Structure 1
């Protein structure tokens, strides 16, 4: 039996007698117990299962993550804070966790790579000095779309063998390093868990951890952070979830310390919204002070009613809302109110930009699906140009991807 799917979306399979679930590429191989239920993220265009009476349906975004155990910390936040599903870094933003390191430090993060991530990117990292050789603590993943190991930092750089697994864009993973002092490195994917024992505790840097990047190295994550937790021994010392603070600023709210940690770097985090209901709450909670906010909306938000909500937020509260399309495994191809086979891009000079010009200056290529502000919702009114892809825009502007001088070193370590 087959069920048509959209790669990256979540589906639930229920079977009275039990069945095996695969996909047309053979990437997926999982089992539904008799009388049980399984929620999976589709890797291709069809799910294949061997129970003709099984029930298959598309799962809503948030319940799907809950079924997979990928939502953490609950939704309880102090008054004035608004929960969002993720913070997305464009490659120039990060969060700093200030706790000094020790040989008992551990951490875990739930994250996904953006489809525009073309090189290595740290999910979290701390290191001392200008070298990775000794004092380092962190975890990253090699280039997406290829078979390669997880590279992590513990007494220098090391690798975790992940067999033939191909890491994909817009797919949620969980990585943990000595979490609760278990002396293990673990990588959880939608289909498997890979782990190995760590070497004896030694040489952890006392520097703070940077989530989604670090200022003085180029391998920053271009992707989404759903959760970050840090431990000392068996104690959780930070448990951070993505949120908007009372001013409407994206942050990671720490339930342990009661602190909102805001971005380092340049530019603005994208606030990811999981549903239209969550978007409605977010817009209602924004203060009437005005401001700028970039949102990533799910496909279900592609409606005239949502567009009216966004424009009304500007008209009544003064907020300029830049909208990214939220469609797994695909680049934005439409804007709200206008079905267009284009995306909208503009360039901004940035110290940590992902592109470089002929004169050596660094640039960031910003994109959007729609924008709602004082000039209406036409992206061209805000300096955006219609293009087929970010790569096309960069080429037209004479920009080339910034090449990490240490990427080769990191990808060939023993």
Structure 2
């Protein structure tokens, strides 16, 4: 069966949350079963009250019938095989529906701006919480991980299918919204929105068409421990007939510009993830994948061509900053030393140019696999988008300016991905610039994703 062949990335999704309030369980769901911290935010409302934000965004995007249909089909399932089919199809259908809606192929779905990435995130949480609280009338095989199957499908991991032939291939990844406790549950992530705009798109480059496949990563340390990045990029890279030519991990960075990151570092800074878990230390290896033991990985993206791409709403910077621990024998102790030249042999990473959160780690892991396969001819690197922010009115879920900024960011990501897609030899990094020095000053305390 398809499900048993899946990587067990989420077979034991951690329960960081306290049990949900016990109530009479509707249908085949037991609402006393504990939910994750992420899933508990489904009940969060805006300060002034009103409907819960996540479910309301799902409703406004027209995805609530899909969610209700999956729940109905779960309750109607009578065999493990049927349950597996319901769950795997649900994940795939949610991702494909979100992509089709984002790219304008489903104008029938709701009134919310089609560029909005948030409905996918909250619909996924609605269904993962339903799966966690589902009480089937039959035993499930121990090898079955329904949550794993659903999550993979709903992030596009099972949808990466490049064509054969000489067409250029570009693989990109975005992220879920994050900082939902600090910034609030209305927050959006333009990297996730850009991934939805790019999936399946054919880019028109001077060297011919380039096909893009996209996935969306969770902002959860545990998923990265379980190898979600390697499962996405590694699986694509080992397909010799359809191997991508370019890898671009994408996340949200600083408020006023795009950053093409020169360096990714092998250190986790411990900022809390979407389950409020913190992890500090070196980036661990992913089991089952070839990967070199390195501290820094340098981009091989054609950054000079990306810098020369047609102008968009935001400036684009080549960020050469990185940080090392002053005492390489005691990483994590003392203050990091930040520079913009190049790491020396024996130095231990404290931060890449994109910080030491999951954005930096997505670049590091994707390109560590690229190097593990010996694919030095494949271009790989990271793009930080500007911060989107939130709607101006604290009582609004969206507004025209918020939507316009997200659309402008996504449009510029497409322009930069197009510039990166055509073949070119890597350029020699230029001398450190003032913008690089400014970035150095802000690295240790900056959370970028």
TM-score (norm 1): 0.29
- Bigger relative contact order, structure 1 or 2 (CA pairs below 8 A, ≥6 apart): 2
Structure with bigger strand share is: 1
TM-score (norm 2): 0.27
Structure with bigger helix share is: 2
